[in-house]
Amino acid sequence: MPHAQPSKLFLAMSLAIGLPLAAFAGGSTTNLPDYMSVANPMQSVETWNDFLREETVGEAMVFDGADLMALDAPVQAYDAATVPFTLRQRDAFGQRITNLKILVDENPMPLAAEFEFGEAMGNVTFESRVRYDVYSNIRAVATVEDGRMFMVGRFVQAAGGCSAAVSRDPVAALETMGQMRLKQFDTSGGQSGQVAGTERQVQLMIRHPNFTGLQVRTGTFDHIEARYIDRVEVTLGDEILFTMVGGFSISENPSFRFSYIDNGADYLNVRAVDTAGTEFTHSFALHSGT
């Protein structure tokens, strides 16, 4: 979306003659809603048009998703191996997001992850981290209940994250992989008790090197074999929260922060499987609202 920026000359002139700048700031010079004015909108569409569109959605129409959701990602990332993104569904849309694909256009494996969301996710808020091989768009393609698809995206300056040195000794990383933690955030405003219908927020952290196959061993320069978590299933009691099918673009030690609607269940269960077929499971006791 084009967004008119006041020119420097205009700014200088405005200052000189004491014009109230607020009148021209932000989105007020256009009729766009504020949320459509972003610092780092998507840039090139070549990859999308070349093959990514066909691979991702086939022949389906894809609508501008700005009214459905917002995708936040930094203009520039400090660490290309862990570029954070946050997807927030807006309240007013009226339909659930049932499927979400996160794509990094220029990565050798562009599809970072595909999520299927259960009803208990409510209005989706989802945060994770991806690797960046070269400067690229990151896209979120969401499908809602009636089957329509929507897309939003950002352009992030970050490079080298798919082949960047692993953060720990590969042997040590393999020994501790599969450890999990769940952080539970109290968003109830101090209200206690396990109340069905309350929105909760948690962060799931899985220890796993998520080797891309592009990283090399220090000293020998031979490649470390690809091995990454490609399936995650999270349930709230018996109810499915989300499943993920992922590629190596999800950063090492995958971390997912998300909200859900409490259904009164006592446990949140996680099952993760990596590309070597190793399965990791964990059940976390929920202490909702306490």
Partner 1 sequence: MRGFGWAILFGWVVSMSAGAAMAQPVPLPEDYRHSDYDAPVPDHVPGALTVGDDASYALWRSGRVAFVDVMPNLARPASLPADAVWHGRSRQSVPGAIWLPDIGFGTLDAAAETQLQAGLIAATKGDRDAPVLFMCRADCWMSWNAAKRAVEQGYTRVFWYPDGSTGWTFWDWPTKRLKVFKIQ
Provide the H-helix boundaries in the chain: 8-17, 46-47, 53-57, 170-176
Nearest Cα residue to 241 out of 204, 277, 209: 204
Provide the H-helix boundaries in 165-235: 170-176
Binding of residue 71 to partner 1 (CB under 8 A): no
Binding of residue 53 to partner 1 (CB under 8 A): no
State the minimum distance, in angstroms, from the CB of residue 216 to partner 1: 11
| Residue located via tokens 């309350």 | 198
Interface mask toward partner 1 for 134-173; x: CB under 8 A: x---------------------------------------
Which residue number, 125 or 157, has a Cβ lying nearer to partner 1?
Answer: 157
Considering only 19-27, 46-54, 122-130, 172-180, which stretch makes contact with partner 1 by CB under 8 A? Answer: 46-54
User: Alpha-carbon distance 183 to 186, whole Å?
Assistant: 10
Which residue number, 44 or 76, has a Cβ lying nearer to partner 1?
Answer: 44
User: Alpha-carbon distance 130 to 173, whole Å?
Assistant: 19
Token pair of 203 as six digits: 């962060």
State the minimum distance, in angstroms, from the CB of residue 247 to partner 1: 6
| Residue located via tokens 């809603």 | 33
CA 204 and chain centroid, separation: 13
State the minimum distance, in angstroms, from the CB of residue 162 to partner 1: 9
> Of 47, 82, 235, 259, which lies in the binding site for partner 1, with binding defined by CB under 8 A?
47
Which residue number, 97 or 112, has a Cβ lying nearer to partner 1?
Answer: 112
State the minimum distance, in angstroms, from the CB of residue 187 to partner 1: 37
Binding of residue 230 to partner 1 (CB under 8 A): yes
> Of 66, 115, 130, 133, which lies in the binding site for partner 1, with binding defined by CB under 8 A?
133
> Of 83, 111, 142, 229, which lies in the binding site for partner 1, with binding defined by CB under 8 A?
111
Which region holds residue 266: left if phi is over 0, alpha if psi is between -120 and 50, else beta?
alpha
Pairing of strands 255-261, 199-206: antiparallel
In this structure, are residues 166 and 89 in contact, taking their beta carbons and an 8 Å threshold? Answer: no
Considering only 112-120, 149-157, 181-189, 221-229, which stretch makes contact with partner 1 by CB under 8 A? Answer: 221-229
User: Alpha-carbon distance 107 to 84, whole Å?
Assistant: 15
Which residue number, 47 or 89, has a Cβ lying nearer to partner 1?
Answer: 47
Nearest Cα residue to 267 out of 231, 232, 235, 233: 235
Token pair of 219 as six digits: 């000293």
> Of 199, 225, 266, 279, which lies in the binding site for partner 1, with binding defined by CB under 8 A?
225
Which residue number, 133 or 262, has a Cβ lying nearer to partner 1?
Answer: 133
Interface mask toward partner 1 for 244-263; x: CB under 8 A: ---xx---------------
In this structure, are residues 98 and 144 in contact, taking their beta carbons and an 8 Å threshold? Answer: yes
AA letter at 153: G
List contacts with partner 1 (CB under 8 A).
44, 46-47, 50-51, 55, 106-111, 133-134, 212-214, 223, 225-227, 230, 247-248, 275
